[in-house]
Amino acid sequence: MAEIIMGVGTSHTPLLAIEPRKWNEYIARDYTRDNLNLSDGRWVSYDQLNQMRNGRYADITDVETFVRKSDICQRALDRLGDDIADADPDVIVIVTDDETELFDRMNTPAVSIYYGDDIITHPRKRPEPMPSYMARMLQIYGMDEPHTFPAMAGFARELIERFIDHDIDIGAAAQVQDPYKSGFGHGVGFVETRIFRDKKIPVIPLLLNTYYPPNAPRAARCHDIGRVLRKCIEASKEKLRVAVMASGGLSHFIVDEELDRRVLEGFKQGKADLLRTLPAQALNSGSSEIRNWIAVAGAVEGKENRWLEYQPLYRTPAGTGIGVAFGICS
């Protein structure tokens, strides 16, 4: 019988793929944003946010702080890679979102499993002129050119069929025809290049529609999907040691530490309702990737947190940025 041996969580923000002394070049666009999402469902411009916050984060958005925070995050990513290598799973189910990389707006399934023979990444279009940080970011995202990584088609197909048996009408994708038109994005590519490093681990992507209304699943449904994923894995007669990983999140593009800490608390024994009752208005835009963590929490329910690193990465005086987290439970 297959078994889940560990749960993993990682953020995948560009800040984790950019040298911290270049963060300010990336951050410059924050000051012109007019669609920043608050966790109560409101949308504000940067100027409106700054009026509300009165520049309260100015003293922690300097280069020295960026370097210190980046070092903490990079050490956490190294630890994730080491722990996964030590556990040596046969396959990892990566629960992540698709940002019009594999799917487009003609058809965006609420939840889908990929059961192709290979994972192939989709190169991101490069702007002109290209920012100085972007070449390295795209390389770490695996989106500088098409990259091919191992999948596990047979087991993935079995999971799809078992999901159907559990009354979840899951989408199914089986191939990447032309990676220059569509393929996998940073939700998978970052994990493959930065965390797995040179270790080739078969991956099954489980893609949630987090970003694009109207069919983004609610929090309780995401948790139920995770619970069903566990049942599907454990029902298999394959003797596989499986890891389940959340890739994405947490709160962004405005840091909300209260929301982030609620999500992480929800992984503890008996605290699932903290996740299942998260309101949809708190899961807009980048914060929508919290859904990936909720699904993994359902899959690893009952397992203990082995270690966790959480860092709120404020990047402007108004508090734009991202809450990043990394951890293992087993």
Mean pLDDT of the chain: 96
CA dihedral sign of residues 178, 182, 186, 191: negative
Give CA–CA dist 36/74, Å, rounded.
27
The enclosing H or E element of 309 equals strand 305-314
In the structure, what pLDDT confidence band is assigned to residue 63 with cuts at 50, 70 and 90? very high
Domain ranges of the chain: 3-329
What SS3 state is found at 8?
strand
Q: Is the pLDDT of residue 296 over 90?
A: yes
The enclosing H or E element of 324 equals strand 320-329
Give CA–CA dist 194/229, Å, rounded.
25
**Percentage of the chain exceeding pLDDT 90:** 96
Give CA–CA dist 11/246, Å, rounded.
8
pLDDT for residue 127: 85
Query: What number is the average pLDDT over the span 250-254?
Result: 96
pLDDT for residue 110: 96
Q: Is 296 exposed, middle or buried (0-12, 13-18, 19+ CB in 10 A)?
A: buried
What SS3 state is found at 265?
helix
What's CA 153's distance to the chain center, in Å?
22
Contacts of residue 111, Cβ cutoff 8 Å, sequence gap at least 6: 168, 170, 171, 206, 207, 208, 209, 217, 225
Q: Is 312 exposed, middle or buried (0-12, 13-18, 19+ CB in 10 A)?
A: buried
pLDDT per position as a tens digit, 191-204: 999 999 989 999 99
Distance (Å) of CA 191 to CA 111, 259, 289, 294, 304: 20, 24, 15, 18, 22
Provide DSSP, 80-125.
Answer: HHHHHHHH--SEEEEEEE-SSSSSBTTB--SEEEE--SEEEB-PPP
pTM (predicted TM-score): 0.97
Query: What number is the average pLDDT over the span 252-277?
Result: 97
| Strand 203-208 to 91-97 pairing | parallel
**Largest Cα–Cα separation, the chain:** 58
Q: Is the pLDDT of residue 125 over 90?
A: no
Give CA–CA dist 226/243, Å, rounded.
13
pLDDT per position as a tens digit, 67-124: 999 999 999 999 999 999 999 999 999 999 999 999 998 899 999 999 999 999 999 9
What's the CATH fold of domain 3-329? Protocatechuate 4,5-dioxygenase; Chain B (3.40.830)
In the structure, what pLDDT confidence band is assigned to residue 295 with cuts at 50, 70 and 90? very high
